[in-house]
Homo-oligomer: A and B are copies of this chain.
Amino acid sequence: MLSSAGVSSATPTEEMNGAGNLMDFLDEPFPDVGTYEDFHTIDWLREKSRDTDRHRKVRPRVCVQFTVNTFSSHHACLSSVCQITSKSKESVWELIKSLLDAWSGWVVMLLIGLLSGTLAGVIDLAVDWMTDLKEGVCLSAFWYSHEQCCWTSNETTFDDRDKCPQWQKWAELMTGHAEGAGAYVLNYFLYVLWALLFSFLAVSLVRVFAPYACGSGIPEIKTILSGFIIRGYLGKWTLLIKTVTLVLAVSSGLSLGKEGPLVHVACCCGNLFCSLFSKYSKNEGKRREVLSAAAAAGVSVAFGAPIGGVLFSLEEVSYYFPLKTLWRSFFAALVAAFTLRSINPFGNSRLVLFYVEYHTPWYMAELVPFILLGVFGGLWGTLFIRANIAWCRRRKTTQLGKYPVLEVIAVTGITAVLAFPNPYTRRSTSELISELFNDCGALESSQLCDYINNPNMSRPVDDIPDRPAGPGVYNALWQLALALVFKIVITIFTFGMKIPSGLFIPSMAVGAIAGRIVGIAVEQMAYHHHDWIIFKNWCRPGADCVTPGLYAMVGAAACLGGVTRMTVSLVVIMFELTGGLEYIVPLMAAAVTSKWVADAFGKEGIYESHIQLNGYPYLDVRDEFTHRTLATDVMRPRRNDPPLAVLTQDSTTVEDVETLIKDTDYNGFPVVVSRESERLIGFVQRRDLTLAIKNARQKQDGVVSSSVVYFTEDAPQLPASNPQPLKLRRILNLSPFTVTDHTPMETVVDIFRKLGLRQCLVTRSASPGHHHQEGCPATHGSNDEPGPRVHHVQLAEKSFPPPTL
């Protein structure tokens, strides 16, 4: 029996005696046994069974009933299992504890939602203010943003909401002149200066306090969720610094968004609250469930799209996403969105970032430009990923990577200098997207809506017919085209710098600009050539048939899809974002096209590419492997390798073990009966072994280098002269995962993926003493003694060196 303490709180019936045999890591014979080292991968199965053990302790229960369900053929292994019913009447305290335990998951979700919603609100407000600070200041209260300043002013007219005496540009404030070349130059200069200041602060804070706070964080979160451990990546410092530097980075006007980093921030919140509950802090598997939900909350507040957030977490980020996590993510996303709405940073009581209302349906023929936008999105995705990865690789491998501060300053300088003259790049990217999405109403004063009105049309109505474009529109088209080129180029160099930088908003901006240009082109074509066959059916003169804003929306979806390869979550986010529910079909068409086009050039999205670039271990759920091989072909050791590193159950000394640990870097070792028979007993983790020996040497008298390590149930009684034996059965995993050497590799990969294994042992039938694999047994005739003795070969497993960050 492994540990009798493990079941002490239960009252086992007679049939239940077997349960005492479970490995119980919660006993923690030595501290840290069952934990993982940094930059190592967790074993999902072990985490899961540890959680079940914990459950048993928290909720003492009795097995009362054995049912045999003879109908169930597939799931027969379930029949006659012990149905456990609650009998926690021992004490009220036990009951409360068990309730608390059951509800702690929801409590964590609530906390995550509240904190991430609050942080997102604060970030939104701060970004608003600081972005406007680059241009001017509010005289009535310097902490007001431009909009708030004029909103509170009484002198604002409805037509010109943006102009009010309280808001003064820097030049006006400093020299008294609002117009003129001098004022322009001064404003320009101060704009660039503020931008440089913000970005310098951001990159310095990241360098000094939390190097993990840079980037979007999504590639790393994907890796962490797949079971990898990067300590500190989701720590308190990262949370704090990322929040502050995110505001600075976005405000500096760089071509980056706050959406990806907000996911990172939300995951940091999740990790923070995990530490409040031992259920989550002590179990890496459970912790990842919380983190998945936190990622959903992050997207939820980033876009005001709770359902899109849940789907993003499911489709893009998470590795293990059971339905329970789906519900909890949903709850966390809801709370987060609700908190954000209460803070109301956009001042419009809406959750969504870019609210639009279109008044006309779309027509079949428009699918052609929508699909073309999809193609553009796919091409942009491919171009961006290739160029960005090439640049990032250059950063990693050349001198460039040594001067991150300089790089950020340089890029900020170039961005600010180039951005200021063009009104579409000067403003914040989300404002730009918002304007591009907008349909031109009658009251719209923007340059993009400078159409030549029909003099016969008197009253302003929603349903404005298509009109010829005025000079303002043509002017805007030129500026937009320049902005498009600028955004495309600068985003490639921006993403991946050592500051928090998201990719969603810049990608969407590229798509929205392209889409709006296409939209206006189609609109004007339809207006001027409404006798063409394609327009004849749906576009009579005087009708409002083309909505350029819709094209911008479709373009944004296409470009975002091309870069990230999201489909379902993308469309949901887009229509949550815009309220454009009727436009699912165009959005879907563009998203699917963009995915197909981009996939034709390379299967990996930007996040997978960055994972690969950084060398994180990540087994993509989406990849389809077509192996021709069997387990026997890939298992280690290979033909000319040294024999497999194993421990024997009762003949290895402490010194042997220590030598083995020192000489190899495997994460664990199979334990066999003896080197001759190599029959498998179990598997022991390297870390557990190290800790156990260290602990024994310190605390257990008589354990010396020549002590024999016993993995058997009982160590033999040795004469007193011999050194004390070291019994380590409690750290031995008695149910290591094994497959036969005839198992096809797809199956092995599938098992690894679905069960989240850390290693898998291969057993084979071989003659005794046949230590290492010699190719395929069928061709080498080593299979002549039929009947599998359990021979076992560990698959290649190395510890993972920390990546350079």
User: When the two chains form their complex, are residues B572 and A787 in contact, meaning their CB atoms are under 8 A apart?
Assistant: no
Question: A727-746: contact bitstring with B at CB < 8 Å (1 yes, 0 no)?
Answer: 00000001110111011111
User: When the two chains form their complex, are residues A49 and B798 in contact, meaning their CB atoms are under 8 A apart?
Assistant: no
A474 to chain B, nearest CB (A): 33
Residue from A16, A571, A786 whose CB has the most chain B CB atoms within 10 Å: A786
Could you list 25 A-B pairs, sorted by A, with CB under 8 Å? Answer: A19-B629, A21-B632, A22-B744, A40-B73, A52-B626, A61-B626, A76-B796, A76-B798, A80-B796, A81-B627, A81-B629, A82-B745, A306-B584, A306-B585, A322-B621, A327-B568, A330-B568, A330-B588, A334-B588, A338-B585, A581-B581, A649-B787, A679-B787, A713-B778, A735-B739
* A789 proximity list for chain B (CB < 8 A): 679, 789-790
Question: A755-794: contact bitstring with B at CB < 8 Å (1 yes, 0 no)?
Answer: 1001110000100000000011011000100111110000
Given A55-B626, A341-B585, are A18 and B323 neighbors across the interface (CB < 8 Å)? no
User: When the two chains form their complex, are residues A628 and B16 in contact, meaning their CB atoms are under 8 A apart?
Assistant: yes
* A745 proximity list for chain B (CB < 8 A): 81-82
* A582 proximity list for chain B (CB < 8 A): 350-351, 579
Question: For residue A42, which residue of chain B has the nearest CB?
Answer: B74
User: When the two chains form their complex, are residues B617 and A75 in contact, meaning their CB atoms are under 8 A apart?
Assistant: yes
A236 at interface by CB-CB < 8 Å: no
Binds B, one of A63-71, A550-558, A651-659: A63-71
User: When the two chains form their complex, are residues A619 and B75 in contact, meaning their CB atoms are under 8 A apart?
Assistant: yes
Given A581-B579, A778-B1, are A16 and B622 neighbors across the interface (CB < 8 Å)? no
A595 at interface by CB-CB < 8 Å: yes
User: When the two chains form their complex, are residues A744 and B74 in contact, meaning their CB atoms are under 8 A apart?
Assistant: no
Question: A1-25: contact bitstring with B at CB < 8 Å (1 yes, 0 no)?
Answer: 1000001001010011111111000
Chain A contacts with B in 452-484, Cβ cutoff 8 A? none
Residue from A1, A322, A634 whose CB has the most chain B CB atoms within 10 Å: A634
User: When the two chains form their complex, are residues B15 and A633 in contact, meaning their CB atoms are under 8 A apart?
Assistant: yes
User: When the two chains form their complex, are residues B75 and A787 in contact, meaning their CB atoms are under 8 A apart?
Assistant: no
User: When the two chains form their complex, are residues B77 and A568 in contact, meaning their CB atoms are under 8 A apart?
Assistant: no
* A628 proximity list for chain B (CB < 8 A): 7, 10, 12, 16, 19, 56, 61, 63, 82, 84
Given contacts A327-B592, A576-B584, A679-B788, 7 further A-B contacts (CB under 8 A): A18-B779, A21-B778, A49-B746, A352-B581, A579-B581, A679-B787, A681-B786
A182 at interface by CB-CB < 8 Å: no
A662 at interface by CB-CB < 8 Å: no
* A75 proximity list for chain B (CB < 8 A): 41, 617-619, 752
* A801 proximity list for chain B (CB < 8 A): 71
Task: Find A52's partner among B341, B581, B746, B799 (CB 8 Å cutoff).
Answer: B746
Give A788 to B615 CA distance when docked, in angstroms: 38
A604 to chain B, nearest CB (A): 14
A589 at interface by CB-CB < 8 Å: yes
Given A52-B626, A568-B307, are A783 and B81 neighbors across the interface (CB < 8 Å)? no
A265 to chain B, nearest CB (A): 22
User: When the two chains form their complex, are residues A787 and B581 in contact, meaning their CB atoms are under 8 A apart?
Assistant: no
Task: Find A747's partner among B48, B227, B760 (CB 8 Å cutoff).
Answer: B48
* A41 proximity list for chain B (CB < 8 A): 73-75
* A228 proximity list for chain B (CB < 8 A): 74
A112 to chain B, nearest CB (A): 15
User: When the two chains form their complex, are residues A735 and B746 in contact, meaning their CB atoms are under 8 A apart?
Assistant: no
Give A49 to B799 CA distance when docked, in angstroms: 31
Give A388 to B82 CA distance when docked, in angstroms: 29
Question: For residue A780, which residue of chain B has the nearest CB?
Answer: B17
A86 to chain B, nearest CB (A): 10
User: When the two chains form their complex, are residues A349 and B361 in contact, meaning their CB atoms are under 8 A apart?
Assistant: yes
A745 to chain B, nearest CB (A): 6
A142 at interface by CB-CB < 8 Å: no
Give A75 to B40 CA distance when docked, in angstroms: 11
* A786 proximity list for chain B (CB < 8 A): 649, 673, 681, 712-713
Give A464 to B190 CA distance when docked, in angstroms: 50
Give A627 to B53 CA distance when docked, in angstroms: 9
Give A352 to B575 CA distance when docked, in angstroms: 15
User: When the two chains form their complex, are residues A74 and B787 in contact, meaning their CB atoms are under 8 A apart?
Assistant: no
A564 to chain B, nearest CB (A): 13
Residue from A588, A748, A775 whose CB has the most chain B CB atoms within 10 Å: A588
* A435 proximity list for chain B (CB < 8 A): none
A797 at interface by CB-CB < 8 Å: yes
A380 to chain B, nearest CB (A): 20
The 3 residue pairs across chains A and B that have the minimum distance between CB atoms: A41-B74, A673-B787, A734-B742
A630 at interface by CB-CB < 8 Å: yes
A749 at interface by CB-CB < 8 Å: yes
Give A15 to B629 CA distance when docked, in angstroms: 9
A93 at interface by CB-CB < 8 Å: no
A72 at interface by CB-CB < 8 Å: yes
A795 at interface by CB-CB < 8 Å: yes
Given A1-B778, A70-B798, A790-B790, are A76 and B759 neighbors across the interface (CB < 8 Å)? yes
